[in-house]
Structure 1
């Protein structure tokens, strides 16, 4: 890009946005790879844990399947198959959505919640080492605010 093009405020903004995105994306990939590699159990997969985590944060520990799809980084068919595996293991249950017969509600069972809590304790140690150990408390707060701002822009 020419020097004149980078001096234009619009172009500088675009270049900065792309550079920030690339940095955020690469950091996210690096952190996720570490967290997956150091995941503390073989009892559940990293993606299964993600489903249990998302359900644990909801009122009554339940979500409509279509809403769960918005929270995880899997395609809808993959989430459906993963939920079916969790149902078979007694970690979640599926129920018809009371307000929409076409929908399904996924609820975390007591067994699933116990599994989540057991794994979460060790998983939080890895998160703290990988993220908390590298940023100051102020940086962590700023990072959370910036990520929330980007996520809320949907």
Structure 2
């Protein structure tokens, strides 16, 4: 996609990044403070949400890691807690003798949907009360473009 306009300065890029980062931290902290996390934490919900959209409600742990912001050891411990709570289970991956998938159980799906409804109301209250429909659409377009650009830009190597 070709961009219009002048190329931003390094300072403008850094300022935009700082604003994006600070906004994300502020919004996430605000969402974590909501009184909706009875059954699971925000991080646990994130895992349940990722599994709820996966084919067969199952993802390999490495794919689940790609869908979350957790490191591999943190994700393993979190999945262990979700297994103990009966919200997910580990299953062999068909056709792969060593592969293990994390599967969302019926109870996990029930919890994800219940918490998800409350979470969406919180998000609507925060974002919908601040931005109008056109601003939200523009923000989503810009963020999708930024995410795609970041995902396809090769890492800088010395």
The structure with more helix, counted as a fraction of residues: 1
Same fold (TM over 0.5): yes
Secondary structure at the counterpart of residue 40 of structure 2: coil
Is residue 119 of structure 2 the alignment partner of residue 120 of structure 1? no
For 1:25 and 1:102, locate their aligned partners in 2 and report how far apart those are by CA, in whole Å: 38
Q: Per-residue CA shift, 1:95-152, capped at 9, x if unaligned?
A: 1222433332111111100001111111111101111211111111111122222222
Is residue 101 of structure 2 the alignment partner of residue 82 of structure 1? no
**Aligned counterpart, 2:32:** 36
Count of aligned pairs: 145
Shift of 1:46: 1.1
For 1:146 and 1:105, locate their aligned partners in 2 and report how far apart those are by CA, in whole Å: 33
Structure 2, unmatched stretches of 5+, are: 1-5, 152-158
Q: Per-residue CA shift, 1:32-62, capped at 9, x if unaligned?
A: 0000011403221111101001111122221
Secondary structure at the counterpart of residue 69 of structure 2: coil
For 1:104 and 1:144, locate their aligned partners in 2 and report how far apart those are by CA, in whole Å: 34
Secondary structure at the counterpart of residue 101 of structure 1: strand
**Aligned counterpart, 1:59:** 55
Is residue 106 of structure 2 the alignment partner of residue 106 of structure 1? no
4+ residue runs over 6 A deviation: none
For 2:75 and 2:110, locate their aligned partners in 1 and report how far apart those are by CA, in whole Å: 21
Q: Mean Cα displacement is larger for which, 63-72 or 96-105?
A: 96-105
For 1:24 and 1:99, locate their aligned partners in 2 and report how far apart those are by CA, in whole Å: 42
**Aligned counterpart, 2:90:** 94
**1:39 and 1:46 in contact (8 A); partners too:** no
Q: Per-residue CA shift, 1:2-21, capped at 9, x if unaligned?
A: xxxxxxx76x5211111111
Q: Mean Cα displacement is larger for which, 144-153 or 78-87?
A: 144-153
**Aligned counterpart, 2:127:** 131
Please report the TM-score for the alignment, with normalisation by the length of structure 2.
Answer: 0.85
